[in-house]
Amino acid sequence: MVALKAVVPPERGLPTGLVHEESRLVNPGTELVDSNAIGIEVGTFIENLHSLSLRQRIFNAEGFYWLEWPRQVQNLMEAKGITPLQLVEITNQVNSSSALIQPDAAAPVARPGDRFYQLFRFSTSLYIPDVDLRRSPFERLVLPLVLEVVPDALARQLGNVVLVPDTDSGNSKVGSYASINGYDIESVRSVSSLHSYGTNWGLDQGDLDYSRLSVQVVMRGDPFSSFVTWILPLLIVMLIVLLAPLLDGELGEIRLAIPSTALLTLIFLQQSYKAELPSLSYLTFLDYLYAYSYIVALVLFVFFLWGSNVYATSLDHQKGDALKKINSVDKIFQLSALTGFFVVAILAWLV
């Protein structure tokens, strides 16, 4: 009886933190897949995408996938008692108990060339393994549907079976409802790899490699919508901060109120922005802009304190000279802060 990976808990498809677990891209001509590999052709049609949560890094997907395999695989399936439903699994599903994977027929359909075909319908919640938000709110999201060979008998070292994408140009990859609010589909691509779990599952066998095919829907947020929603409010607050030095140096109390109010506003805006994102180990593009804005508002508050003290401690006949000195510092601050904002924005985008 063949030892199936299905004996592992369904959640094993999620990241476990095991340092030995790895995936390697399949490049033609490398040692990962030789010319004797047996291909199972995989096609997908993602009918619907919804309920995206960047904070939880999950989304829901419904659609179809189909498998087509040659006689060699069919003979092995019959010998080992492997059903078409056991050929592959969706490894990045979040909760397998609530997932629906249903074949359209009780038995595979014979195809020309001594090949066999089976169509499956799926509906499940999927985990997003890699989220790169460094350029948020102008990020690019990759929503994957990851299919992987299940039976050990079909692993590279034993059956040498690999999953290959259906290259029929007449097949659509996504349906008309496969969209996420606020994002546009940029492309759909298939990435093949070999996956090693770094364990033998407690069985008397070596570490096996299993073929994996990731169908990735690449989505990008609408730039204009992202700008109006997240960048424009920040720019308005910063514009008020940079215009504050134009107030007469005599208006010390009014001048001091502007940077402190701007700081509170910036904190509120950033908290609203971060509430939609997961915890990150790096700063996003917008985080850099906020950090710089905090520094500008704080430095402006310090300059206004200095200016107020200089004006208040000046003698009556010296107040004119004090105002000129304050205005000169204000102009230098305005030009420096404005230039620095553009420099920080460029560097943050390139990080």
Using pLDDT thresholds of 50, 70 and 90, give the confidence band for residue 272.
very high
The CATH number of the domain covering residues in 5-221: 2.70.170.10
Q: Which CATH class is domain 224-350?
A: mainly alpha
The pTM (predicted TM-score) of the whole model is: 0.79
The model's pLDDT over 281-336, given as tens digits with 9 standing for 90+, comes to 999 999 999 999 999 999 999 988 888 878 777 777 777 878 888 888 889 999 99
The model's pLDDT over 197-225, given as tens digits with 9 standing for 90+, comes to 887 777 777 778 899 999 999 999 889 98
The predicted structure's pLDDT at residue 44: 92
Residue 4, pLDDT above cutoff 60: no
Residue 111, pLDDT above cutoff 60: yes
Residue 121, pLDDT above cutoff 90: yes
The model's pLDDT over 36-77, given as tens digits with 9 standing for 90+, comes to 788 999 999 999 999 999 999 999 999 999 999 999 999 989
Q: Where do the structural domains in the chain lie, given as residue ranges?
A: 5-221, 224-350
CB atoms closer than 10 angstroms to residue 110: 11
- Average pLDDT estimate for 9-19: 34
